[in-house]
Structure 1
Amino acid sequence: MFACGRVVFLVVVTFLRTVQASTDAVPCVAMETCLLPCRFSPGGDLVVHWIQEKTKHNVHSFYHDRNQLGAQDPSFRGRTALFQDQIAGGNASLRLTGVTIQDQGLYKCYTGTNERTMEVFILLQVNAPVRRVDIQQAEDSITCSSEGIYPQPGLTWSTRPPSNRSLWSPTVQQTAQQLFSISSSVPNPAADLDYICTVSGGGTKRTATWARPTSISGSESGTTIPCASLPAPHTSLTWRFNHSHTILKQNGSSSKVSDGWTQHVEISTESTDLTLKDLSSAQEGIYTCELSNSEETYVANTFLRVQTSPGSGSNAAGALQLQL
């Protein structure tokens, strides 16, 4: 007698559910650090892949409980990190340092566990704000310029008091890093006007003012040359002599007087004015004040005539016209 039996194999197929989140936009500043958020439901056998969608480059991978960077694209090498102590809890956010214009675009955060997979899309938007606007006079023109801006900036001029002078079109250039520089010049500026240049771009704007030149007379014992005051507290102050020699630099509460001027300058962190003492004809010339805060820069030129004795000296206004 033979016994006949059947062996039944039960095949269980498990379908992992893929969850796709909506796309979030994340603004980042060029050359700074940016956080690309990615949350997921924790589980075992975790796999994380960050992918740059436009190039399909591997940005960062994590599996087998450690970073896996063998396939990482060279452009991201040394610039990415996950929060190691938070991954198990469902945080796969990416820390990207030294952000460049080329980094902008769509990124995918793929996470997979033994229970589900998830895809989160992040739109990285990069801008480079206007950090500084330079304004200076050379020969018979005033030039305003700024650099390292993204996206393409704009530049406008105005005067104080308002005038009907023509507008001056700016010149825009772009570097290999896709950052923009912009500049514009005012030919033959009028001596009775303040010229105000405004540069906007990267979600920010800054202004720079070139104040009309003035002249004062001072005695040998000393005098004070006024600068200006800005609506917001200033972050830096520089005084120069005859455009090229730095007299004083002030940043916050710290002041430094250049060698050769210590015997002539009285330091004050409470005023932007320059107080001079023990003067002679050697200190006669043009004094330039450059005052800045987070929003604007102000530049003023003053010609100082030192009166060494009653009735002596030259025509200050004429000297001002020749040297400014």
Structure 2
Amino acid sequence: MRMVKALAQAFLRLLWILTLAKCKIPDAHLTCLFSEDCVLPCSFQPGGNEIISWYRQEVLLLNHSHQGGDQSDQPPKDHRTRMYLLQDQLSRGNASLHLSQCGIKDRGRYRCQVNSTLGQQESFIIMKVEAPIKMVTMEISKNREIQCLSKDIFPAPRVQWSTLPPKANLRSTTHMAPNTEGLYSVQSKLRMFGNTPTYVCTVNSTYGSQSWKSSLQKGELTGEAGRELSIPCMAPQNFQNFFLTWTFAKTNDKSKVILSYVSQTRRTSNLWEGQVELEQDRVLMGDGSLLLHNPESQEHTGTYTCTFSGFQSRHMVQTQVAIRSTLRRSLTENMPNAEDQVGRTGESHSKMWVIAVVVAVVALVTTALLLYRKQRANQGKADRTTLEDTEMQPMETIKTSDDLPMDNCQLTAGHNNGHT
């Protein structure tokens, strides 16, 4: 009998040790989301008359005596509405602590202690609280700085910058500040480069659970009034299940949404109906270019922003669009472009001497021809004057035989003839 009793006691002790090994979970890690409910697990071997105590940083939060479902002690006042145990689970050995609307102050090391007829059982949990990243936006300030913005994050995240094409030694300035609830707002700035079209900002959570990426592409475009214009916008590779929006803003005005598209439902909401549209057969392939019909110079000149929003990613294309009127276009085409004039300055100087020589030669030849023609004209005039003068001279009278006096020869000849 003694041997049987000893074996029974040894078996109970072994069972108790196994129960402790099963219940005790040393330094288990748990991450709860800010302002959401969370359950801190604790299991024990039911033995009857359990006294359950929960501690945070060795400060008593809740003390519960389970005797047939009766609760002898209440939790402290400040936790009474937020911390509780499920009564119907205690008889099954489940003493998990239910915590509603987790806050930053709820972080810490928790201890679950269960005293029963089987002895004392404990388990430890290190609880973390995280406010996840919900959105990362980018914008361009007036002093040519690009900003990466996010808010209501905990713990403070890490920010990284990159460009396309890649550039080394990017020098950014990042500022983080908590609000009254302990959540951080992030503002990171980077000086823009003149020849860099795309900037990428990556925000990583401290616990490594999230990595948000936001990119911004800058461009300029010129259109003509009355002629259809396509404003380009291409999504990054493998961009699926996205939400596309187009906004428009005139100088010093706030942006307003003019069109939106949901890839999952293929539904378009067009607030500029008849003025803009998407190419439906291309938008699902990531081409969100906007077709602008019959644009007007004053009404449609401004900044167009295309935004692709997806899972933990955001891509923006900001295009400054200028619509020229037909009259302005014709005047602009007739006027020399300043950049072209500067670019051609060297070439113009090199041709000036050639042009000057050609002009001088042409001038000399022209002058010589004019002088020659003038001389010929003067010569002709002189010849005509001489001829006229000659014609104006009195004509010499030619005397006939009747007018001439008879000489002796004639008289003699006549005399002889008379005698013949």
| TM-score of the aligned structures, taking structure 1 as reference length | 0.77
Please state if 1:24 is matched with 2:28: yes
Please state if 1:272 is matched with 2:279: no
Going from structure 1 to structure 2, the CA distance change for 1:162 and 1:80 (only over 3 Å counts) comes to same
Name the SS for the 2:173 alignment partner.
coil
Deviations 1:122-142 (A, max 9, x none): 111223333221210121221
- Alpha-carbon distance in structure 1 between the residues aligned to 2:327 and 2:65: 83
The alpha-carbon deviation at position 96 of structure 1 amounts to 2.0
Deviations 1:167-216 (A, max 9, x none): 11311222333322221222354253311112222322212112122325
Are the equivalent residues in 2 in contact too, given 1:52–1:59 (CA < 8 A)?
A: no
Larger helix proportion of the pair: 2
Of the three residues 304, 308, 320, the one matched with 2:321 is 304
Name the SS for the 1:130 alignment partner.
coil
Unaligned runs of 5+ in 2: 1-12, 338-420
Larger strand proportion of the pair: 1
Unaligned runs of 5+ in 1: 1-14, 319-324
Name the SS for the 2:90 alignment partner.
coil
Going from structure 1 to structure 2, the CA distance change for 1:90 and 1:190 (only over 3 Å counts) comes to same
> What pairs up with 1:1-324 in 2 under 5 angstroms?
19=20, 21=24, 22-54=26-58, 56-59=59-62, 61=64, 63-64=66-67, 65=69, 70-74=74-78, 76-140=79-143, 141-164=145-168, 166-202=170-206, 203=208, 204-215=210-221, 217=223, 220=226, 222-230=228-236, 231-242=238-249, 244-251=255-262, 252-253=264-265, 255=267, 257=269, 259=271, 261-266=272-277, 268=280, 270=284, 272-277=288-293, 279-281=295-297, 282-306=299-323, 312=329
Identity among equivalent pairs (%)? 26
Name the SS for the 1:102 alignment partner.
helix
Runs in 1 of length 4+ with deviation above 6 angstroms? none
The alpha-carbon deviation at position 218 of structure 1 amounts to 6.6
- Alpha-carbon distance in structure 1 between the residues aligned to 2:224 and 2:119: 81
The alpha-carbon deviation at position 105 of structure 1 amounts to 0.7
Are the equivalent residues in 1 in contact too, given 2:197–2:219 (CA < 8 A)?
A: no
> Structure 2 counterpart of 1:178, which letter?
G
Are the equivalent residues in 1 in contact too, given 2:160–2:201 (CA < 8 A)?
A: yes
Name the SS for the 1:90 alignment partner.
coil
Higher relative contact order (CA 8 A, sep 6+): 1
Higher Cα Rg, which structure:
2
Going from structure 1 to structure 2, the CA distance change for 1:244 and 1:132 (only over 3 Å counts) comes to same
Are the equivalent residues in 1 in contact too, given 2:222–2:324 (CA < 8 A)?
A: no
- Alpha-carbon distance in structure 2 between the residues aligned to 1:233 and 1:312: 41
The number of residues matched between the two structures is: 298
| TM-score of the aligned structures, taking structure 2 as reference length | 0.61
Are the equivalent residues in 1 in contact too, given 2:161–2:170 (CA < 8 A)?
A: no
* Superposition RMSD in Å: 3.3
Going from structure 1 to structure 2, the CA distance change for 1:116 and 1:165 (only over 3 Å counts) comes to closer
